[in-house]
Amino acid sequence: MSNEMSPIDKAKFVAAKQATEYVTSGMKVGLGTGSTAAWLVQCLGEMVREEGLRIKGVPTSTRTAKLAREVGIEVITLDEAKWLDLTIDGTDEYDANLQLIKGGGGAHLQEKVVATASDRMIVIADASKKVETLGAFPLPVEVIPFGMQTTKALIEETLAGMDVLGQEVTQRQAGDDPFVTDEGNFILDLHLKRIGAPQTLSLALNQIPGVVENGLFLDICDTVIVGHGDGRVTVRDLSDDGGAEIHFNVLDDTNIFADLND
């Protein structure tokens, strides 16, 4: 990675940096998975080491847990935490009502469990994640390995009666092998193009035997923090009809987290 921040890296960084303003000592914080969430973990780790921030982090994947420990954040399980003050995570898509599609990194099951066990969920993203209607990003559905082809056929049958534009279902791969989640399950990606009734679709998918959880995060997110390549940050909160715009100054000649990979 270049020593100079790319616009997309800068957008992710300023969104993550703004999100740290919601974190105070003593909190139990859900830590998301993905490239944008990794910037957050790095920022929080810096605050732990240099400012004495005291938090307990509940990671949503083994990858996030490893990074959190490396930067000095105390890691606990959700069972140990019982309930969280806040979860901060990235997203693959969000709409004007702060409904989300997540799971591009294959961790949406743990992410949804952690987010719903929190007083508040904040999403950090770059501007490209905003959509008019959910569905451009393939919707991940975690399924158990047993009878996976049967589950896939049932999903395809269900999609035929849904308000969607596409109905293609593919199994996610990791190279030549099936992608396997932290729970040992597979992921089916639903290429729907547009989801007209997310609530109806989510309920229908989760009623199919073999389905563990889908990547629709509905009525879970409270705030979206959007970073821009020029260093601007836009904060959109469900309690604020207008949204607030905050500016950060980010050094152009230094990538302070140059070891992070997308």
| 102 marked as binding residue | yes
Strand 168-171 relative to strand 100-101, pairing: unpaired
262 is in an annotated binding site: no
Q: Judge contact between 58 and 78, C-beta under 8 A.
A: yes
Is 64 annotated in some ligand binding site?
no
Is 135 annotated as contributing to ligand binding? Answer: no
Ligand-binding site membership of 116 (annotated):
no
Annotated binding-site residue? 177: no
- 89 in a labelled binding site: yes
51 among known catalytic residues: no
182 labelled binding-site residue: no
Cβ–Cβ under 8 Å, residues 39 and 16:
yes
Which member of 46, 50, 111, 245 is catalytic? 111
Chain-centroid distance of CA 144 in Å reads: 21
**What does DSSP say about strands 173-174 and 177-178: parallel, antiparallel, or unpaired?**
antiparallel
User: CA-CA distance, 149 to 135, in Å (whole number)?
Assistant: 23
Please list, in sequence order, all residues whose beta carbon lies within 8 angstroms of the beta carbon of residue 150, skipping any fewer than 6 positions away.
Answer: 210
Binding-site positions: 33-36, 89-92, 102-105, 129
What residues are labeled active site? Answer: 111
Q: Residues annotated as binding site for substrate?
A: 33-36, 89-92, 102-105, 129
